[in-house]
Each structure stands twice: as C-alpha cells, then as structure tokens.
Amino acid sequence: MAEQKPDELKAVKIPEIMPIMPLFNVVVFPKMMFPMEIFGDQSAALVDEAMSKDRIMGLLVSKKTHEDLQYKPEDFYNIGTSVVILKMAKGGENRAQLLVQGISRFRIVEFIEGKPYLQARVETLEEEETNDIEVEALMTNLVSLFDRIVKLSPFLPQEFAVIAKSITDPGILADMVASIINSATEEKQKILELMDVKSRLKEVTRLVNHQLEILELGNKIQSQVKDDMDKSQREYYLRQQLKAIQKELGEGEDESKVEVEEYEAKIAAKNLPEEAKKEAERELDRLRRMHPASAEYTVSSTYLDWITSLPWNESTEDNLDIKKARKVLDEDHYGLEKAKKRIIEYLAVRKLKPDSRGAILCFAGPPGTGKTSLGHSIARALGRKFIRISLGGVRDEAEIRGHRRTYVGALPGRIIQGLRRAESNNPVFMLDEIDKVGADFRGDPSSAILEVLDPEQNFSFSDHYLDVPFDLSKVMFITTANILDTIQPALRDRMEVIELPGYTMDEKLQIAERYLIPRQIEANGLKSEQISISRNALKAIIDGYTREAGVRNLEREIASLCRGVASGVAAGDVEKQAIAAKDIHKYLGPVRIPPEVSIRTTKPGIAVGLAWTPTGGDILFIEATAMKGRKNLTLTGQLGDVMKESATAAMSFVRANAAALGINNDFFEENDIHIHVPSGAIPKDGPSAGVTILTALTSLITNRLIKKDLAMTGEITLRGLVLPVGGIKEKVLAAHRAGIKTILLPKWNKNDLVDVPVKVQKDIEFFFVDDMMEVLKLALEK
C-alpha cells in the first residue's frame, strides 16, 4: 500500500532518540503506508511506549533472520526509516497489527542501552531538492516503465500507475516505485540508502527494467505454453461449440449417434463374412469419430450402406424341376428349339451336380431374336432373380470393378450394383451386348469381365470400392452378343455360344399370333375380342414395314396397331376392329420396304447380292451402267477398299475373258463404266460381293438379263475362282425374307447350310459353284 501526505508529515518532529523496530525481509520507504504485524515481548513493549508518547519509531532492516538476531549493531543496516503509527490493533498476547506511515530517512548515530527494546540516537536525513531536465527525463521514463509493469503484473492494481504519474517529487517517485516492485531486500535497502535523487532514480530504473524483462520473458513463456496447448484444445473447444450449436438447432449429435447404432445393429444382424465384417467395423469406428456434417462422414456412411445391404449370404431356392422349367420356357418363347434344349441340359447338369461349373451361356444373334427375353425366362424357370446390365459402350474398367473409396462420389462397379438390386447372391445375371465392350486408356474392362466369369476366380471377386472380396460363384451368368468376332478371344473361350440366327416368315407369324399380339393387346388396355389382325395383315407388315431378322420392329408395329385401335375404342368410334392387309397403311403409313426384287431387276446390269450385317443379313443390289468415254471405272455407294478392289478385279476378269464372253474389245475403249451399290448412304465393304459385281458387269456388257429372283454371294479371284465367304446362314435367311427363289453359293460353303432352317432350305433352290464361268452360265438368261 502506498500513499503520501507530505504536508501533514512535514510537521512531525523526529526526536533525536528513537525506539528502533527491527524489520525482516522488507524495506519501508518514507511517505509510504505499510501494514505490519509485530510479536514478542520487546516489540510489544516498544509499541506500548510509542503509542503512549508521540507514536514515532524507527524501522531498521536486520541483516539476520528473526531467530538469529542478537540485537548487536552489526546485525543491522545503518540507515532506516522513521514512521508514525497510524493504527494499532492488539491481536492477543504480545501481538499487534499496525498500520504505519513512513516519515523520513535516518542514520543511526549510536545504539543506546537501558530499555527492554532497542533504542538509538539518530540523525534525520533531509533530501536536497534537484529538479533538472535529466531528472525529469528519468522520471518520465520511470513512470512509463512502471506503467508497463503494472500492466504485465496481474496482482498490481491499475491505480498504482495513476498514482505514479501524479507524483511530482522525484525522490518520492523513486521510493514509491521501489516499495512496490518485486526486488530483493538488499536491493531495496540500497535504494533507501541512496540520498542522491538522480542516482536513486537511475538505480530504481535499473531494477524496474530488470523486473520488466523478467515479466516479459515470463509472459512469453506463458503464451508459448498456451499456444501449444491451444492447438490441441482449440479443436476440442470448436467441436464443443459446434455441438452446442447443433443441439440448439435440434440436429447432429443424437441423430448421428442413432445412425451409428443403426449401422452397428445392421452389421451385427447381417452375418457378414469375416473380412467384410472387419472392414465394416473399421469403417464404423471411423464414423464414430467423425462429425456428421463432414464430407468424410457421408463417404463412410455410404460405404456402410453398401456393405450392409449386399446379399452376402442371401440366396433364393432353385426350382430344379426340369419339366416345369421346360414349360416356362415354352410359355415365353415360340420355337428356339436348339436354345431351349441346351438350356434344359444346362439345368439338368446343375440339378445332378449342384457345384458344377459349366461354361457361361452366350446367346448370339441379331437384335430382336429373343436373347434378353430368354434370360428372363431362364430366371423364371429356375425361380431366381433376374438382373441385366448392358455392357454396350463400357470402356472403363471401373464400370465393372468400381472406383476406389478415396475417390469422391465413388461407387461400386456394375456387378456389385446389380447384386444389390437382386438382393440375392444367386441371380441369373445377364451381361448384355458383351460384344460392344470397348477398351481404351482407362483400362480394359474385358479383363475385369473375365475375372467375373471365371469360376476359378469369381468366388473372391474384388471390387475396388468394396475392397473386400465378394463371392460370385453362385451367380448364373449369361451373356448376349450380336457378333462374336469382336468379343475378346479369352472371353469367348469361356462361353458356350447358342446362336439365335433369326426367324423365318412362318416363325414370325407364329410368334406374332401367339406372343406379340396378345401381349400388346394387354399392354394397350384392350380385350382380345376388340381387335383381330389377319394373317395376311401380319404378312404385309413383315414384308412392307420390317426388314429384320428378329421380331423387335414387328412387335413395335403391332403395338402401333393396337394403340390405333385402342384410341378408336376409347373415343367411342368403334367397339371392335378387324384389321386386314388393306387396312395396314391407315395405321402404319406408306410401305417402307423398297419394291420386290423382281421389279428392280428388269434390266441388264443389275444383280442381287447377299450381305452379312450385324443386324442379321440383307440383300444388296449392284447396278452397273456404261456411257461413252474412255476406259474409266467409277464406283459409288460408299464402298470400302476391299469392295473396290473386288470391283477392279471383276473388271479385269471381264476384259481378260472378253472373247470367251463374246464381248467386242472396242467396248472398253469407247466406254466408261459406273458401278453403284444402293442404298448409297450405308457404308459397305468386304470381298463377298465379287461374284455379284462380276455378274452385273457381264450382264451389262453382254446385254443379257439376270434370272428372276436369283441372288448370289462369293469372293472372286482374277482367275475366276469363287472363294467361300462368311455369314451364310444370315444371308440365306435375308434372301428368304426378300422372296429370293434361287441362290448361288461358293462350293466351300455347302456345309454352312446345315444351320439354315429346313423350311427355308425347301423354299430356295441352291447352286454351289467354284468357277465364275459357271456362275455366269447359271445367272444370265440366254
């Protein structure tokens, strides 16, 4: 406590002989108030006597501790402070609380015996007043330093700084600051002994500086420690705050807790395989520590959703009643004897040897021939779930195998996705259009598909997303393809191909009447007595509107008919409708298929070829014409290089054999020849049009007509040999659809006819040839 009342105190008269109170570890400065406690006989007697007189005593700092003090002069410093006792409170035997106020410095002249307490003759020390500019500077500096000390010390009240600023006497300022700062007793005593005010100010400044350094260093250390602690605690505090906010908003914590518990329960209930369980639990553990609002939380919970919803152990019971299976297949599909028989065999083997790992069935054929719907049927016959994924255009391995979980928005591949949809681990799983799988820089999906289909590997299929193996061995995979050539060889080796080449007119009629029409009647909300479609009407649709191997477009046209009738019935215009061939154009518009072959081949120079296409084969017209010119050959109709070379070879053959064919050699000198293959917009290629081009050319130049309803296919050599070609079955079926009656085929292709339905073989007359002269003899009219 510090205070001064200089005016009042100046009036106090200091006696020459004073009682001396020893001080331990503390220095009291003039003008300062100081509370002190005294005890012991000597001190009590001293205070008693002082209180009864002028209340003045001298405080002198002892160099010894209380216990060691022997009251010898050398035990004390020489300079002390005279004080007046402002207040006294007795606190029991020989004890008292005093409040004293310093008056001035004194020096001991001599100690005097004769009292029960210490007594001395003293000399009061007066301070000379110095007030130069240096003192002023020293004071300002000291005040500001002291100000900083007050700020840095939590236990010093701010008022101290204010008081220090208000002190005008430099000596008192130095004393006051010295009395307050935290310095050793010896240091403070030194201040007390410094009578030169300038030196005292300097010395106090030194002490203050020292203390400031200590305080600042202490602060720095403290804030550093705090920093370290902060980092770890900051997050904790933030989380706590976030929790509080969420609680306030009624979300978060509890919900996520519930969610975590739900996952826990799901994992427990699911009976996961060991590895999956471990992974799920690890993820759950992660989830627990995450905040529900974070992105990682969603990633984690999505993963847990997947892993807990996959059919790890769930499977459906197989129906292995072969007779019933056969019945189901017949119910769904007309014909397809070979395919159905093979499917039944397959099921029979499964029945006798449940763990048998047969080859993968692959249904191959043009669109609309029932590949996909056969898959459905098999699932139905077996009592299994059916899942179909289309591989058309799949180029990225990740589509099959999924993306790694670290990738944002990652998902499992299509196989695992399909299984989740199936909700059973033994569905019939159709990989549709396996021939349309592409490969590029993102990795080859074929190798992933290979792993899926390989019974040696697929019991532990690894999806990148799941990251734990999934057993695919119970799945019955079926694949479909339009073309077999584009399937990766290793994949093709795995598969047992069942061909669905396409339907004849008769088969289409049966399919339409038994399946497509009833289905479309129902789909369009009609009753069977409200619509009838005559057989001739169906034929007209098949011939005039759908040129296809399968029945997809036929079904579409039938659907159009049914919609047309349905709208009439709904409007109340008609009650029922019988549709005959002549009515078709009303519903379906004008005929779309180009006119009959016979109409188009009434001039020399037009031959009918057969082409193989992925959609099941087609007929092809080749037109040749001549005009005045000089030996030029023009080819049009989007022909590929191979086909162009065939044309050139055919031309060379005709010229080389001009004499034998009865052609005037001048013909070539005087004419340009143009060969065109409609439809001009569709690209065409391959060598198999060789015989047809040659026949068209010869017909043109010799001006002989080609026989009616005759088509041909085959490659030629410059020597006039006819070489075998591919796709015979599709070509023959296409010719049959187009009403061709005679076909010329390469001799080497004779065996391919076994695949052609007997009915078709009966309708068409075949000639097998290996020599061009023979072709021309058969094809051209006399």
Ligand X SMILES: Nc1ncnc2c1ncn2[C@@H]1O[C@H](COP(=O)(O)OP(=O)(O)O)[C@@H](O)[C@H]1O
Interacting residue ranges for ligand X, rule: CB under 6 A: 333-336, 367-373, 511, 515, 550-552, 555
Q: Which is nearer to ligand X, 336 or 362 (CB)?
A: 336
Task: State how far the Cα of 168 lies from the Cα of 130, in Å rounded to an integer.
Answer: 12
Residue whose C-alpha is closest to residue 694's, from 719, 726, 727, 731: 719
Please state the closest distance from residue 607 (CB atom) to Mg ion, in A: 35
Q: Which of 390, 392, 456, 397 is nearest to 429 (CA)?
A: 390
Stretch that binds Mg ion, among 367-375, 379-387, 610-618, 754-762 (CB under 5 A): 367-375
Residue where the block lists tokens 């020599």 = 771
State the binding partner of 779 from ligand X, Mg ion, none, CB within 5 to 8 A by kind.
none
Task: Map 308-321 to HEC letters.
Answer: HHCCCCCCCCCCCC
552 contact, one of Mg ion, ligand X, none, CB 5-8 Å limit per kind: ligand X
Q: How far apart are CA 263 and CA 266, in angstroms?
A: 5
Nearer to Mg ion, 370 or 746 (CB): 370
Residue nearest to ligand X (CB): 370
DSSP secondary structure letters along 724-777: --S-HHHHHHHHHHTT--EEEEEGGGGGGGGGS-HHHHHHSEEEEESBHHHHHH
Which residue lies nearer to ligand X by CB, 272 or 478? 478
What are 164's two structure tokens?
């220090």
CB of 578 to ligand X, least distance (A): 23
For ligand X, the closer of residues 42 and 482 by Cβ is 482
Identify which range of 364-372, 496-504, 593-601, 733-741 contacts Mg ion by CB under 5 A. 364-372
Shortest Å, Cβ 285 to Mg ion: 45
Nearer to ligand X, 171 or 367 (CB): 367
Q: 279 or 555: whose CB is closer to ligand X? A: 555
The token duo for 308 is 């807990």
CB 350 within 8 A of CB 384: no
CA distances from 355 to 31, 351, 455, 476, 497 (A): 109, 9, 11, 12, 21
Taking the least distance from each CB to ligand X, the nearer of 366 and 746 is: 366
> Residues 424, 446, 688, 699: which is the catalytic one?
688
Pair 185, 25: CB distance under 8 Å = yes
Min CB(550)–Mg ion separation in Å: 9
Which partner in Mg ion, ligand X, none is near 564 (CB below 5 to 8 A by kind)? none
Judged by CB under 5 A, which stretch of 165-173, 372-380, 384-392, 752-760 contacts Mg ion? 372-380
- Cβ contacts of residue 645 below 8 Å, gap of 6+? 687
Q: Concatenated DSSP letters for 522-587? A: HHTT--GGGEEE-HHHHHHHHHHT---SSSHHHHHHHHHHHHHHHHHHHHTS-S-EEE-GGGHHHH
- Distance set, CA 40 to CA 44, 74, 77, 590 (Å): 6, 21, 21, 134
Distance CA 186, CA 192 (A): 10
The interface partner of residue 385, options being ligand X, Mg ion, none and the CB cut-off 5 to 8 Å by kind, is: none
Choose among Mg ion, ligand X, none what residue 373 binds, the Cβ cut-off being 5 to 8 Å by kind. Answer: ligand X
Give the nearest residue (CB) to Mg ion. Answer: 372
Strand 531-533 to strand 618-628: parallel, antiparallel, or no bridges (unpaired)? unpaired
| One of 4, 300, 372, 671 touching Mg ion (CB under 5 A) | 372
Element (H, E) at 82: strand 79-90
Exactly one of 474, 684, 729, 731 is catalytic; which is it? 731
**Residue 205 site contact among ligand X, Mg ion, none (CB < 5 to 8 Å, cut-off depends on kind):** none
Smallest gap from residue 492 Cβ to ligand X (A)? 18
Rounded CA-CA distance 253/255 in Å is: 6
Would you say 372 or 546 has its CB closer to Mg ion? 372
688 is catalytic: yes
Query: Which H or E element spans position 623?
Result: strand 618-628
Q: Is 519 left (phi over 0), alpha (psi -120 to 50) or beta?
A: alpha
Minimal distance, residue 502 CB to ligand X, in Å: 10
Closest distance of CB 245 from Mg ion, Å: 55
Judged by CB, which is closer to Mg ion: 308, or 372? 372
| Cis-peptide into 473, omega within 30 deg | no
Q: Which amino acid is at 188?
A: K
Q: How many residues does the chain have?
A: 782
Pick 98 or 481: Cβ nearer ligand X? 481
Contact status, residue 674 vs residue 634, Cβ threshold 8 Å: yes
Compute how many residues bind Mg ion; rule: CB under 5 A: 1
Closest C-alpha to 636, from 673, 675, 666? 675
Query: Can you spell out the DSSP letters for 393-426?
Result: T---HHHHH---TTSTT----HHHHHHHHHTSSS
Work out what residue 334 binds among ligand X, Mg ion, none; the CB cut-off runs from 5 to 8 Å by kind. Answer: ligand X
Give the nearest distance from C-beta 401 to Mg ion in angstroms.
24
Distances (CA, A) of 213 to 140, 150, 165, 293: 19, 13, 21, 48
Interacting span for Mg ion (CB under 5 A) from 211-219, 365-373, 630-638, 694-702: 365-373
- The residue (of 337 and 575) whose beta carbon lies closer to ligand X is 337
3-state helix, strand, coil in the chain (%, to 5): 50, 20, 35
The 10 Å Cβ neighbour count of residue 430 is 28
Least gap, CB of 366 to Mg ion (angstroms): 10
* Interface region with Mg ion, contact rule CB under 5 A, candidates 49-57, 337-345, 366-374, 455-463: 366-374
Residues near 110 by beta carbon (within 8 Å), at least 6 away in sequence: 120, 121
Nearest approach, Cβ of residue 516 and ligand X (Å): 7
Nearest to ligand X of 367, 418 (CB atom): 367
Nearest distance in Å: CB 480, ligand X: 6
551's contact among Mg ion, ligand X, none, with CB below 5 to 8 A by partner kind, is: ligand X
Q: Are 614 and 746 in contact (CB under 8 A)?
A: no
Nearest distance from C-beta of residue 433 to ligand X, angstroms: 9
Which of ligand X, Mg ion, none does residue 511 bind to, with CB < 5 to 8 Å depending on kind? ligand X
By the rule CB under 5 A, 308 interacts with Mg ion: no
Task: Please report how close the Cβ of residue 503 comes to ligand X at its closest, in angstroms.
Answer: 7
CA-nearest of 762, 776, 766, 761 to 746 is 766
Give 57 or 495: the residue with its C-beta nearer to Mg ion: 495
Task: Report H helices in 76-196.
Answer: 133-152, 159-166, 170-180, 185-193
- Phi first, then psi, for residue 431 (nearest 5°) are -100, 95
The rounded distance, in Å, linking the Cα atoms of 458 and 415 is 11
Residues marked as catalytic: 688, 731
Contacts to Mg ion by CB under 5 A: 372
